[in-house]
Amino acid sequence: MSNKLVEVKNLKQYFHTGGTFLKPIYVKAVDDVSFYIERGETLGLVGESGCGKTTVGRTILRLYEPTAGKILYDGKDITNVDMLPYRRKMQIVFQDPYASLDPRMTVGDIIGEAIDIHKLAQSKKDRQDIIISMLQRVGLNSEHANRYPHEFSGGQRQRIGIARALAVSPEFIVCDEPISALDVSIQAQIVNMFEELQQDLGLTYLFIAHDLSVVKHISRRIGVMYLGKLVELADSNELIFHSAHPYTKSLISAIPIADPKQARASKRIILEGDVPSPVNPPSGCRFRTRCPYATELCAQKEPEFKEISNGHFAACHHLDKVN
**What are the pLDDT digits (tens) for 61-120?**
999 999 999 999 999 999 999 999 999 999 999 999 889 999 999 999 999 999 999 999
Give per-residue pLDDT as tens, 129-140: 999 999 999 999
Give per-residue pLDDT as tens, 145-186: 999 999 999 999 999 999 999 999 999 999 999 998 888 888
According to the model, what pLDDT value does residue 158 have? Answer: 94
Asked if the model's pLDDT at residue 212 lies above 70, the reply is yes
Query: What CATH number does the domain located at 4-39+48-89+210-322 have?
Result: 3.40.50.300
Q: Quick one: which H or E segment has residue 156?
A: helix 154-166
Beta strand pairing call for 172-176 and 90-93: parallel
Asked if the model's pLDDT at residue 11 lies above 70, the reply is yes
What value does the mean pLDDT take over residues 268-272?
78
Q: What distances in angstroms separate CA 320 from CA 168, 256, 285, 317, one per listed residue?
A: 48, 27, 16, 8
According to the model, what pLDDT value does residue 203 have? Answer: 96
The predicted model scores a pTM of: 0.92
According to the model, what pLDDT value does residue 2 have? Answer: 65
CA distance 270 to 247: 10
Give per-residue pLDDT as tens, 27-43: 999 999 999 999 999 99
Q: Closest Cα partner for 78 from 94, 93, 59?
A: 59
According to the model, what pLDDT value does residue 239 have? Answer: 94
According to the model, what pLDDT value does residue 173 have? Answer: 97
Domains of the chain, by residue range, sit at 4-39+48-89+210-322
Q: Closest Cα partner for 47 from 180, 230, 319, 218?
A: 230
Asked if the model's pLDDT at residue 144 lies above 70, the reply is yes
Asked if the model's pLDDT at residue 1 lies above 60, the reply is no
Q: Quick one: which H or E segment has residue 53?
A: helix 53-60
Return the percentage of the chain with pLDDT > 90, whole number: 74
According to the model, what pLDDT value does residue 275 have? Answer: 80
